[in-house]
A and B are shown apart, each in its own frame.
Chain A
Amino acid sequence: MTSRSTATSVAVAGSDARGRGWRRYRSSTFYLFASPWIFGFVLLTIVPIGFALGTSFTNYDGQSPIWRFVGLRNYIEIFTSDPEIWASLVRTLAYVVIAVPLSVGGGLFLAVLVNRRIRARGVVRAIFFVPSVVPIVAVAIMWRLIFNRDAGLLNGILEFFGGPDQTTWLADPYAFYALIVMTLWGLGGGMIVILASLQDVPVELEEAAKIDGASSWRVFRSITVPMISPILYFQVITGIIASLQVLVQPMLLAETNNLSTASNIPQSTTLYMVQVYKEFFLYNRFGYGTAMLWVFFVFVLALTLILQRLSKRFVFYQVAVDQD
């Protein structure tokens, strides 16, 4: 309180010292320096968002000047007569429900594992982390080679052990699970973030609990996890949002990587954003596609707010106790 008052008085003193003209100049200086960002924000964010909102009420096709205002028709179609959209949303939610917990849980498991005092710990950490920095195109190519029906590693191993040798992993219904496997391959990225948060867990708390007779599992469950819960929550939220918006991975992982026809992406990996992509770039339905994106935006926003509200029950933030 004392320091805040001091700062205020200094600022006032400074202002008085330079007079009215200087105050006005300082304001303009602020806007001058902020103007590139403000200009960029308005031009590249506000205007496109406004344009997208307007487009969602039209039948704009993205290529011709022939379009008109259609009111809520796009939104009505989404909610009443397009089963593909809801099917893709259900698939997307299924993907989120499976991939996010496994990613966060797997990342936590690996972080705890490499947080222990083991031999060559740095090398092990690097091995787990490296997949997460490999470009997604390279990752997809690698997994396509593994899942390839005719010459893939997986079918080769299965054949060696007497299993089926001609399974088409990258077509329905297996493509969905192949996508999840590919997603989990990069969970080393989450591991690094959680590992960093584990360094902040006070050792004295864990030791005190152990002195009181708590088992390792109890210490982990009652001290470690609550202490890193803000980071886990962050991982969950960003993981959900990223998983909901997955687009490139299903397209790259399709057995036939030819996007000239819509049928080449298996139905089981036609997630919501893939469906949006089809509406835009295969069917030229830009108005409808933007309406889908607005519906999705509201959905993600609502989901985030719900999780934010629920997080109060299981996320524990460290607060500074007022010593006064």
Chain B
Amino acid sequence: MSRHTAPAKRGLVALAALTVPALMLAGCTAAEDGGADGVTTVTVMYQSNEFTPEMIEAFEADNPDITIDFIEFDQTRLNASLTAGDPPDLVRGSPNPNLFAKGLATSLDDYVADSEVISEDDLLPVNDLWRWDGSTSGEGDLYGVIKDWSADTSLWQNTALFESAGVEPLSTTEVSDWDTVLDKAEELKAAGVEYPLGLEWQWGTTTLFTTMIAQQGGEIYNDDLTAVDFDTPEAERAMQWLVDYGTSGVGVTSLNPLPDGQDGPAFQSGRMAMTMTGYWMGGMLVGDDGAAVRDTAQLVPTPTFGERIASVAGGVGGWIPSASDSKDQAWRVLEYFMGGEPAVERSESGWGLPALESLWGNLPSEYPFQVEAAETAKLEADAVTTLPTSPYMDGAVFVSALDRESVAAIKGEKTVKQALADLEAELNDTLAQGKDQLG
């Protein structure tokens, strides 16, 4: 008896083993592709404080054929899903030529051409950070749309601290010199100001460093973006300025980081005279925490070492992975988030500048500082330049190496030239490996 039933049982078990996962997978597929009810699920990986449940609810009410499955942004999870070939349909991120060169992002050109919400003419030039033509960033196809932005090299100053120290504040209309800024910071320090100048060091100094080089007419990368050359007077002057800033003790570096992780609270509380925070700070001054300095805060154009160049450090926005199963639907979500009601609300808040020209009329003007900041921001927008970024290196490598080498020079362990030479060697090794990988 048992000899006859055992194979039958094994067969049943095998059948069940095959059937159950197949049914489960079929269920998953039905949910993702919409199935019989025609509803498509778009998976969005973003930050919930930016892409809120209210926005999702409003979108789904207006678009009954799309359901949004929200995932909190997690770089590790994103990497794993990209590797597995099953990424979310819409992702938060910074423009990254490394990502574009690996073919992981979808070109949005066709979608923009057909869109009634986000048009090519309405996209501000700052969105060029998301362009890549196969060899150069800033040109070619568009791979993402910026959520909001700022010329992150712009400074805020608290004129009250300047006045109490007897130091002339920076001009809000004329561009200052970086050396002048440092001189004023030292004067403020001598007068007892706790933090004369913050550079948001904890977020990385590569944008400032490369902007300073570009302002002097220097190059950061060679023509094919496969190597850096820091054995130049422009690079030396930029590094020397960072080292002078660190050794003078006028601000924050990795050696004396702010517990808050950013300059904002120190500036809000009237302990910091200048901070390189860009337009973003305006949003922090509206609430009660910013009341102490609201009347004396001013946005100042990016200082220079020659040419007028302002830079965007992040350019954070949304992109659609090339492996997405629902690109069309993901674009509709992106369109809504970047050009619809959420974009209007953001532009009115003062937290960053809109990436669409049509939304600039919404900039807040409740307080005098907001009106003045909007004027400076418009001036800065004209000076924003897309600095070259290499697809062969992750930006985090540059951030980390520059911090390490500049701190070594600040501590006196290396000369500026040695620090630059070591920085160059490390970055060129990384670039060579990146080139080897991408071909």
Contact = CB atoms under 8 A, between A and B. Distances in A.
Interface string A69-113: 010000001000100100000000000000000000000000000
Nearest to B101: A66
B257 A256 contact: yes
A215 B327 CA distance: 82
A243 interface: no
Contact of B436 (A59, A257, A266, A282): A59
Query: What is the interface residue range for chain B against chain A?
Result: 35 or more
Contact of B261 (A65, A66, A149, A264): A264
A144 B202 CA distance: 17
Contacts of A81: 429
B404 A261 contact: no
Nearest to A59: B437
B75 A281 contact: yes
Given A168-B255, A171-B255, A261 B75 contact: no
A198 to B, nearest CB: 43
B437 A255 contact: no
A323 interface: no
B358 interface: no
Interface stretch (B130-138, B274-282, B374-382, B393-401): B393-401
Contacts of B261: 256-258, 264
B79 A263 contact: no
B164 interface: no
Nearest to A84: B404
Contacts of B403: 262-263
B256 interface: yes
Say what secondary structure dominates the interface of chain B: helix
A8 interface: no
B82 A171 contact: no
Contacts of B64: none
A170 B255 CA distance: 9
A172 interface: yes
A77 B429 CA distance: 10
A262 B259 contact: no
Given A68-B437, A81-B429, A255-B259, A266 B394 contact: no
B396 A171 contact: no
Contacts of B437: 59, 61, 66-68
A159 interface: no
Interface residues of A, number: 37
Interface in A220-267: 255-258, 260-264, 266-267
B204 interface: yes
A257 B202 CA distance: 10
Given A64-B82, A81-B429, A255-B257, A281 B407 contact: no
A263 B404 CA distance: 8
B315 to A, nearest CB: 15
Nearest to B266: A150
B258 to A, nearest CB: 7
Interface in A146-175: 148-150, 168, 170-172
A61 B98 CA distance: 11
Contacts of B257: 168, 170-171, 255-256, 264
A84 B422 CA distance: 12
Given A261-B203, A263-B254, A284 B400 contact: no
A283 interface: yes
Contacts of A278: 400
Interface in B388-433: 394, 396-397, 399-400, 403-404, 407, 429-430, 433
A258 B404 contact: no
Contacts of A171: 254-257
A64 B80 CA distance: 9
A283 B82 contact: no
A82 B235 CA distance: 23
A232 B202 CA distance: 42
B102 A261 contact: no
A189 interface: no
Nearest to B258: A256
Contacts of B203: 260-261
A255 B76 CA distance: 23
A127 to B, nearest CB: 30
Contacts of A68: 437
Contact of B102 (A64, A150, A282): A64
Nearest to A147: B259
Interface string B237-278: 000000000000000001111111100000000000000000
A267 B79 contact: no
Q: Most chain-A CB neighbours within 10 Å: which of B75, B85, B257, B438?
A: B257
B25 to A, nearest CB: 19
Among the interface residues B258, B430, B433, which one has the most CB atoms of the partner chain A within 10 A?
B433
Given A66-B437, A81-B429, A263-B254, A256 B400 contact: no
14 contacts: A61-B437, A64-B82, A64-B104, A65-B85, A149-B256, A171-B256, A256-B260, A260-B203, A261-B399, A263-B404, A264-B202, A267-B254, A282-B400, A283-B396
Given A263-B400, A266-B254, 7 more contacts: A63-B102, A64-B82, A64-B104, A66-B102, A81-B429, A168-B255, A264-B257
Interface of A: 59, 61-68, 70, 77, 81, 84, 144, 148-150, 168, 170-172, 255-258, 260-264, 266-267, 278, 281-284
The 8 residue pairs across chains A and B that have the minimum distance between CB atoms? A263-B403, A262-B400, A64-B102, A256-B261, A63-B79, A282-B396, A63-B82, A258-B261
